[in-house]
Amino acid sequence: MVEKHYIHHTINKEEKVISIREVYKSFGELDVLKGVNLDVYKGENIVVLGRSGTGKSVLIKLLVGLLVQDKGTVNVLGQEVSKLKEKDLNALRLRIGFSFQNSALYDSMNIRQNLEFPLVMNRKHLTKKEVDMAVDEVLDAVGLKDKKEQLPSDLSGGQRKRIGIARTLILKPEIMLYDEPTSGLDPITSTEINELINEVQEQYNTSSIIITHDLTCAKATADRVAMLLDGTFASVGSFEEVFAIQEERIQSFYNYNFVK
């Protein structure tokens, strides 16, 4: 398995970019998050693990204000998300990249238009040429330069995922949120995505939350791992630390991933 190693990159343990405190969230009678706490440091990749339906996607939606918690505080880049006015929230959103579980590409637009959209709508001073260059740069980063004029429906699931990531990279975010970046992909493509995640971290010094079920992805990308069980983080630490804990549910998560 690929271990993580840095060439030149430091995690600044002094600077918190995300701070989640005692967060609760329910949908009707379904209590999803029950007192979640988590800190993410500058330049760090943190992997959130947890079974399907435990509220991982809900958690990162709170960070960009797509959902609002019932209780607790969510602080991102020094600002409390639920208290922000629309204008400030949008300013914050521009500093966060959110890559959706199902890519969420605009299917009425081709790939180029998809990638341009965040730029054209938010950076109106850019010239056509600058936009084109930015598009080429992110397409290069995800290795799909030849697909520019195709529609999302013409791409495979893995390619769509990569375009989804490219679309979030185009605004050069300080924080990246990846919702299951490798699910449903073959091992080789998954490895490429893992490498991409690490490259983004090193190149742009981004902090990331990576949601996944895939322990290979977790091991390859994580500086720390957080295990979501029953609406709270049961344990947070390095990959080895978390899976050294002799808790039945953590161990079975491990065992099902690596059939022994």
Ligand X SMILES: Nc1ncnc2c1ncn2[C@@H]1O[C@H](COP(=O)(O)OP(=O)(O)OP(=O)(O)O)[C@@H](O)[C@H]1O
- Per-residue binding string, another protein, 150-189, x by CB under 8 A, is -----------------x---x------------------
50's contact among ligand X, another protein, Mg ion, none, with CB below 5 to 8 A by partner kind, is: ligand X
> Using CB under 8 A, which of 96, 155, 196, 220 touches another protein?
96
Calpha distance 190→162 (Å, rounded): 10
Q: Give the other-Cβ count within 10 Å of 217's Cβ.
A: 26
Tokens of 12: 């600044």
Distance CA 25, CA 32 (A): 6
Neighbouring C-beta atoms of residue 80, cutoff 10 Å:
11
| Residue 118 touching another protein (CB under 8 A) | yes
57 binds Mg ion (CB under 5 A): yes
63-122 residues in contact with Mg ion (CB under 5 A) are 101
Site for Mg ion in 194-233 (CB under 5 A): none
Return the H-helix or E-strand segment holding 234: strand 232-237
Q: Does 106 bind ligand X (CB under 6 A)?
A: no
Q: Name the DSSP letter for residue 102.
A: T
Backbone phi and psi for residue 48, each to the nearest 5 degrees, phi listed first: -105, 120
Pick the stretch among 49-57, 125-133, 165-173, 193-201 that binds ligand X (CB under 6 A).
49-57
Q: Are residues 30 and 48 in contact, defined by beta-carbon separation less than 8 angstroms?
A: no
Binding site for Mg ion (CB under 5 A): 57, 101
Binding site for another protein (CB under 8 A): 29-30, 61, 64, 66, 86, 90-91, 93-94, 96, 98, 100-102, 104-108, 117-118, 121-122, 167, 171
